[in-house]
Structures are given as C-alpha cells and as structure tokens.
Amino acid sequence: MSFNELTGKVITPSDKEYDILRLEYNLAINKFPLAIVYCYDYVDVSNAIKWCRRNHVRLRIRNGGHNYEGYSTGTGILIIDTLYMNKIDIDTEQNIAKIQSGALLGNIYSKLWDQGYGFYGGTCPSVGISGLVLGGGIGLSCRNFGLVTDNLLELQIVDESGKLLTVNRNINPELFWACRGAGGGNFGVVICYTFKVYKVDKITLIQLRWDGSSRDKFFDLWQRWLKTAPIKISCFSGFNKNSIYLNGFFYGSKSEAEKILEKFLLLPGLLDDSSIEHVPFIDAVGAIGSFYGPPNRFKATGRFVYRTLTKGNIKNLIEYVDMSPGEDSCYIRLYSLGGKIKNLPNNYSAYYYRSAKYIIGITADWEKDENAKLYTSWVEEVFKYVKPLTDGCYVNFPYAELKNYGYAYYGGNYHDLKKVKRTYDPNDIFKFQQSIKP
C-alpha cells in the first residue's frame, strides 16, 4: 500500500505533526490512524475514497474533530479531513451562503457578520460546520431560526464510488432528507453546503449567574417557563455543585428580555456579574464563545425531554450532582428547543425529536487519564436515571454505551434511513461504531 497515490496533504506516523493532528477535541479519545489526508478539493476526497476501497482500509471523515465519542477518527483507518476546504461565499442578492465543509463556526460567524448577516449555529467557535449541520445543530438562535439543518438548501457530497453528487429538495431528495439530521459520517463526504442566511444587527445577550442555592427552583422554573417563552429567545443553562448559569440570545430589546426573564431575575442567589445587554450580534457570539477553554478529557451526552419533571426528579438530579466527583466539573445542562424547530413534522428531515421541549445534558470533564473511570461512571449512573424520564438522544451528543442507538438517535425515521443507506452506501464504506447499518 502506497500513500503516494493519495492527493492532498498526507500526514503519516512518521511526520512530526502526527501526534498533534491525530488528536480529537476530546482528549480522552486516543486513536492512531494509519494516515490523515487533508483534502483541498473534491478530487482529493474522491481519490481518498477510491484508495481506501482499493487497499481495503476503513475511513473516517473529519471536520472540527469535536464528536464527543471520537467518531471522526480510529486506529488503523484513513482520516479524510476537510479542514482546508473552508471557503465562505455570500450572495447578498439572494441571502444565501455557500460554505465549504471544512469551515469552523468562529470563522463562519465573522465572515457573515462582515456582510451584515448572523448565523444560527452553536456556541463553540472551533466546532465544525459539518458535524453540526449534519446532526441537526442547535444554538442560541435555534428557537428563532430553526435548526442549522433546517436552513440548509443544498449540499455537494462525494459518494462511496468517489462521484460528486448534488443533493437538494429536487435532486437526490431522499439523501437530502437523510443528511439533515443523520448525515454525519453515514452517506459520503460533504464538500460544500448552501444555507439561507438572515441579516441581523443588535440582539440582547443574556448572561445570568447564581450561586447554587436555588438549583431546585431554577430547574422547575426553567421547564415551566419554556412552555410559553417567546420564540425570539433561546437559552443554554445548567448547574454543578455550587453554581447555576443561563446564557441566551433574545432577538429584541433589553427591556423586553428583562420582562421575559423576570422570574429568573427574582431567584435567590443571583450574582453581581450577571448581565443583560443589547449588543452587536458578533459581540454576543464572541462573549459566549470565550467560555470555551483549551480541550480537555470529557464524557457527555444528552436526551430529549418532552414531559414536565416532578419535584422529586429534580431533587434526585441535584443529589446526583452533589455526589459527583471533583469540585465543579460535573454538570446537568439544559438546552432550549421548541420555537421554529417544533413547527415541522418529525419526518420533515432525519432529525426526529421535533417537539421536545429541551435537551438535558449530562457532562463531566477531568484532567488526568487515571480519573476517567470515576467521571464516566458518574455520567453512566445519571444517564440510567434520566433515560426513562426522557425520549431519545441527540446524535450530536452521542453516547457510545447506547443500546439500539439507531432508534435512540432517529426514532421513527430510522427505518427510512436504512433504506437511504442501502441506496447510497450499499457496501457500507461509511461505517463507524454507531453508523446507520444498510
């Protein structure tokens, strides 16, 4: 087997950058790919797929490398990395953006802002557009604009034979349906996306902080408040042993936001560094993005919540957090859904759990490898408790231990996804631990 037949920039274990470039954002993932090929265009991608088939080498696809379980890497496989394909072209006449599949969120936000546009992406600037949009994509604008994937108009993808396909509502429509919620690593290597984009100016940035004293009241208020909250507000919040946070974007004025959040502002334990400010969209994105530190080791997952949890459920979840290892690195997190997401039927695209109220996240991070078991066991224990209270898992917060993962991620859409897989990847070239089986 010769790497010379690959085109693009090839990194192998004999290159000094290999030990850095083989890593994922989650440092708990420790895999040793045979090589990494950084592609510059679709021809490099196509060559890489054909090379893998000729040489009987398994492949993985990578963009931002943020998959929680490391499904964009592996040992003894070829990583097809699109990071160098990161052009962003904006058509201000039609309000569309063509974004290549290697772009990272931070860059997308700033390029669009330069032309007066916002983006409805997630919160972390180093997350890749590909993993995000192909799994759904939620963020602090998702109730107002829908999922990232709901704003996708077209994509270009290289299929299992190395052929470039255009995919949209009229051309390869089943594949378009499948890629919007189940596309990550399953059907081919996406090269480029076309998105609908919206002009924005100033929005209200919400950053509220409390000590840990009102966690029970906060959680109960969160779930009740969300039932009637206006769609122009989206929030991510959570708590650990000693603190609570709520971050949000509101597409309206500061005074309106204060009114909408009135009950939260009255909760005991609100800290002085809380703020609600009317700021340029890009400053709001920057403020939220600045919370992400350097990569660490972590285990995390998330389940869709449909029903109102009882006071007893909430008390138990707080107890789990209080019994968690370490000081402050185990969280229950809450990600608001609803709004525009729920206006569409469950089979509109592969993203299934459209009328869930929010996602409950269970996250733990640690610094030393020897602590991994302690923290992953905590996530596992809380997951077991949360599972019967909730319905399905968000594929972008994947969990390797899931049984029947296909139904957990895609619910009633899984059956049709298997059909699409049989049509577009009958030989199961795009296979990983939790891929869709043909």
Ligand X SMILES: Cc1cc2nc3c(=O)[nH]c(=O)nc-3n(C[C@H](O)[C@H](O)[C@H](O)COP(=O)(O)OP(=O)(O)OC[C@H]3O[C@@H](n4cnc5c(N)ncnc54)[C@H](O)[C@@H]3O)c2cc1C
Select from 62, 254, 333, 354 the one that contacts ligand X (CB under 6 A): 62
Nearer to ligand X, 109 or 314 (CB): 109
Window 378-417: residues binding ligand X (CB under 6 A):
396
Stretch of 47-55, 128-136, 240-248, 266-274 lying at the interface with ligand X (CB under 6 A): 128-136
Considering only residues 125, 137, 162, 361, which one is a binding residue for ligand X as defined by CB under 6 A?
137
Q: Which is nearer to ligand X, 123 or 172 (CB)?
A: 123
**CB of 131: closest distance to ligand X in angstroms?**
2
Instruction: Please state, in angstroms and rounded to a whole number, the distance separating the CA atoms of residues 28 and 132.
Output: 21
| Smallest distance, ligand X to C-beta of residue 142, A | 8
Our finding on whether 131 is near ligand X (CB under 6 A) is yes
118 or 139, CB closer to ligand X?
Answer: 139
The span of 126-134, 194-202, 273-281, 400-408 binding ligand X (CB under 6 A) equals 126-134
Q: Which of 264, 295, 90 is nearest to 194 (CA)?
A: 90
**Residue 26 vs 214, nearer CB to ligand X:** 26
Site for ligand X (CB under 6 A): which residue of 64, 118, 361, 392?
64
The binder of ligand X chosen from 22, 28, 34, 67 (CB under 6 A): 67
- Is 82 a residue that touches ligand X (CB under 6 A)? yes
* Among the residue ranges 4-12, 68-76, 167-175, 274-282, the one whose residues contact ligand X (CB under 6 A): 68-76
Nearer to ligand X, 267 or 400 (CB): 400
Q: Which is nearer to ligand X, 60 or 215 (CB)?
A: 60
> Could you tell me the smallest distance in angstroms from the CB atom of residue 30 to ligand X?
15
Closer residue to ligand X, CB minimum distance, 138 or 386: 138
Within 94-123, the residues that bind ligand X by CB under 6 A are: 101, 122-123
Rounded to the nearest whole angstrom, what is the least distance from the CB of residue 255 to ligand X in the complex?
A: 27
Q: Which of residues 269-288 bind ligand X (CB under 6 A)?
A: none
Residue 139 to residues 237, 277, 336, 403, Cα–Cα distance (Å): 12, 19, 9, 27
CB of 61 to ligand X, least distance (A): 4
Among 118, 125, 139, 339, binds ligand X (CB under 6 A): 139
Instruction: Tally Cβ neighbours within 10 Å of residue 328.
Output: 12
Q: Tell which one of 292, 348, 385, 407 touches ligand X (CB under 6 A).
A: 292
Indicate if the alpha-carbon torsion angle 215, 217, 223, 229 is positive or negative: negative
- Selected from 47, 63, 204, 390, the binder of ligand X by CB under 6 A is 63
**Which long-range contacts does 55-59 make (Cβ < 8 Å, 24+ apart)?**
55/1, 57/1, 58/431, 59/429, 59/430
Residue pair 319/332 in contact by the 8 Å Cβ criterion = no
If the CB atoms of residues 182 and 382 are measured against ligand X, the closer one turns out to be: 182
Q: In this chain, which of 28, 37, 49, 61 binds ligand X, going by CB under 6 A?
A: 61
Q: Is 35 in the site for ligand X (CB under 6 A)?
A: no
Question: Is 189 an interacting residue with respect to ligand X (CB under 6 A)?
Answer: yes
Minimum gap (Å) between residue 356 Cβ and ligand X: 13
- Rule CB under 6 A: say whether 124 interacts with ligand X: yes
**Candidate ranges 15-23, 132-140, 197-205, 269-277; the one touching ligand X (CB under 6 A):** 132-140
Among 8, 33, 125, 128, binds ligand X (CB under 6 A): 128
Encoded tokens for 342? 């729920």
Measure CA 196 to chain center.
Answer: 19
- What's the rounded Cα separation, in Å, for the pair 203 and 277? 8
Which residues contact ligand X (rule: CB under 6 A)? 25, 60-68, 71-72, 82, 101, 122-124, 127-128, 130-132, 134-135, 137-139, 183-185, 189-190, 292, 396
